[in-house]
Amino acid sequence: MNVQVKKVYRNSYLNIISALFKKLGLPQLIDHLVPVDPQCQTRVSDAVQAILYNVFDGRQALVHLEHWAQEVDCEKLIRPDLHPSWLNDDALARHLDRLYEAGIHNVISTCLIHIYLKEGLSLRAFHADTTDKTVYGAYESASLEALQITHGYNRHHRWQKQIGFGLVGNEDGIPFYGDVHDGNLPDKTWNPEVLSRVHEQLKQAKMEDEWIYVADSAAMTKDTLAQTKAVNAFLITRGPSSLRIVKTALAEADAEDTTWSDPFTLAERNGATYRVWETASTYEGHPVRLIVVESSALDQRKGKTLEKERTKEAELLREEQARWERHPFSCREDAEQALASLKASLRPRFHRVEAAVEEIVRLKKRRGRPKKGAEPEVETLYFLHLDVEFDQDAWEQARRKASRFVLVTTVPKEWKGQPMDAQEILKLYKGQISVEMNFAFLKDPFFTDEIYVKKPERVAVLGYLFLLALAIYRVFQRRVRQFITPEHPLKGPGGRKLTRPTGQAIFQLFQYVNVVLFKLPDGRIQRSLDRSLTPDQRRILQGLGMDESIYV
């Protein structure tokens, strides 16, 4: 029996992503939104899948995608009878242009709404934020309405050519809304604009009930508060320390008679404990709740700032000690005046300073040799003596104050039959980490690397496809975490127990799954795994509602 090995594919985890993409019904939805061109060998959904799987496989530049397609099982990943050579530069560029002309924002928004409805995800609260992404090259566009790729300062104050990403998603990090915007759009402008767009998407999802919008301190503006009210939403944000109402709340919280809550913890890895105290105020005519939060985990940047201040203060006090020890006064009155001036000027934060006038009687120095039998002359001098001691209590108090921040919210104390006390508001705000983790995905060179295509319209489309890839990744991770529990963990590399595995950790477990294509004597092609799946691999597939058929 003459059986030939035709090809060996390193498929790994891509088949799982492909199966999930199809289970969500996204190929059909995309081809409905951007109809198939009968003159093309490929569909828009083919190009979208090829780019997405290429992103998940570590992303090559688009000019290398056709070569990459030769190395993966396109017929199994995308659709039967699809030849890799059809995914050439011209075909991909044509489909990117068609996506842009069809309204790429609406296409991706419809896909995100579809995912939320398909997964049965909550539409109760959303977390929002923006970030920037580096791009390279000279871009030309005939349209003034196209994405404006501009130079600007990124989050780390580096000057670069960039575009902006905006994301609004749930606590699992699954985007409900995403956009690719001009590289210099400020967050204070983006927040009120995006509120109305999210509201429109909620109406498309048949949800016109109240909802909560969680954002960083850039959302604390008159326009954002007004827009939040207009779209039937409530705001949770961090109050900027420069606001008068925030300064007042922090001062009131520092009073001796302030009644703080008992310490409590949230489900966080760092195990930080919190205390909260709440008051109320108004801002730009809007009534708001102000929640002062004290955390046992001092912000790293604030901690470094305090350490610098303490070190600088200690050096200054040492200099003052040395200075006054070398500066004698001839009369006590002058020394007392200098002492009063010194006490008024020092005002140390982290040290206790005891200063006093010290009287010293010593031999008076004369020129030349003293006369024989002459009585030695003495003089009385006055010095300022400083005793400096580190004030541990003041230091701890300063750290406590530095670890305080103020949350501003319009959420009522009871909402939809549930108490929304200060602890619940803090818990919702801490979910903001989900958006920040998404930005780590969008900036991870393994997934997205720097963007370089010829037209800003195509940059926009590629950016939106990255957002769709992010949504698929988060859905995959969420589904896995539903059946991987602390009681039934996975075994990761080195025997490490995985109780809340990331998508990348799961990818590693499938890294070396290969598919062999055999050509049988009758000409038929048969697929087979090069080795049996491990128990953990089978468990993951079973938990996702899949089996070996996604490979063979």
Q: Is residue 184 domain-shared with residue 206, that is, in the same domain?
A: yes
In the Cβ-directed half-sphere of 153, how many Cα atoms lie within 13 Å? 4
Q: Is residue 306 domain-shared with residue 409, that is, in the same domain?
A: yes
Task: Look at residue 148 and tell me if it is in a domain.
Answer: yes
pLDDT at 137 over 70: no
Q: Is residue 266 domain-shared with residue 381, that is, in the same domain?
A: yes
- The SS3 of residue 24 is coil
CA distance 425 to 404: 15
Q: Is residue 212 domain-shared with residue 302, that is, in the same domain?
A: no
More confident residue, 468 or 434: 468
Task: Look at residue 525 and tell me if it is in a domain.
Answer: yes
pLDDT per residue over 308-324, tens digit each? 888 898 999 998 888 88
pLDDT per residue over 74-87, tens digit each? 989 999 989 989 98
Task: Look at residue 107 and tell me if it is in a domain.
Answer: no
Highest mean pLDDT out of 78-82, 332-336, 421-425 = 421-425
Would you state the pLDDT for residue 142? 47
Would you state the pLDDT for residue 63? 63
CA distance 122 to 208: 13
Task: Look at residue 536 and tell me if it is in a domain.
Answer: yes
Q: Is residue 197 domain-shared with residue 224, that is, in the same domain?
A: yes
Would you state the pLDDT for residue 151? 53
How much is the average pLDDT of 415-426? 94
Q: What value, to the nearest 5°, has the Cα angle with vertex 496 and ends 494 and 500? A: 140
pLDDT at 544 over 50: yes
Would you state the pLDDT for residue 444? 60
pLDDT per residue over 257-292, tens digit each? 889 999 998 875 657 889 999 999 999 999 999 999
- Closest by CA position to 350, among listed 319, 321, 312, 303: 312
**Residue 351 belongs to what domain range?**
241-366+374-415
More confident residue, 350 or 164: 350
Handedness of CA 212, 216, 222, 227 (dihedral sign): negative
Domain count, the chain: 3
How much is the average pLDDT of 229-253? 93
CA distance 12 to 473: 15
Task: Look at residue 459 and tell me if it is in a domain.
Answer: no
Q: Is residue 221 domain-shared with residue 250, that is, in the same domain?
A: no
Would you state the pLDDT for residue 213? 96
pTM of model > 0.85: no
Q: Is residue 44 domain-shared with residue 95, that is, in the same domain?
A: yes
Handedness of CA 28, 34, 39, 45 (dihedral sign): negative
**Cβ proximity of 293 and 404 under 8 Å:** yes
Residues linked to residue 276 through DSSP beta bridges, in sequence order: 293
Give the phi and the psi of residue 51 in degrees, each rounded to 5. Answer: -65, -40
CA distance 255 to 59: 56
Give 51-66 as a DSSP string. HHHHHHTT---GGGHH
Tokens, residue 197: 């767009």
- The SS3 of residue 501 is coil
pLDDT at 153 over 60: no
* 144: confidence class by pLDDT, cuts 50, 70, 90: very low
Task: Look at residue 468 and tell me if it is in a domain.
Answer: no
**Cβ proximity of 420 and 407 under 8 Å:** no
pLDDT per residue over 453-494, tens digit each? 567 788 888 889 989 999 999 999 999 999 988 888 888 777
CA distance 492 to 508: 9
Q: Is residue 403 domain-shared with residue 506, that is, in the same domain?
A: no
Task: Look at residue 535 and tell me if it is in a domain.
Answer: yes
Find the range with the poorest average confidence among 136-145, 190-199, 228-237. Answer: 136-145
Q: Is residue 357 domain-shared with residue 391, that is, in the same domain?
A: yes
How much is the average pLDDT of 188-210? 90
Q: Is residue 275 domain-shared with residue 231, that is, in the same domain?
A: no
pLDDT at 134 over 70: no
Q: Is residue 95 domain-shared with residue 168, that is, in the same domain?
A: no
- Closest by CA position to 92, among listed 472, 492, 402, 458: 458
**Cβ proximity of 247 and 281 under 8 Å:** no
Give 89-151 as a DSSP string. HHHHHHHHHHHHHT-HHHHHHHHHHHHHHHHT---SEEEEEEEEEEB-S----S-TTS---EE
Would you state the pLDDT for residue 496? 81
Task: Look at residue 115 and tell me if it is in a domain.
Answer: no
* 447: confidence class by pLDDT, cuts 50, 70, 90: very low
Q: Is residue 199 domain-shared with residue 291, that is, in the same domain?
A: no
As a whole-number percent, the residues of the chain with pLDDT over 90 amount to: 38
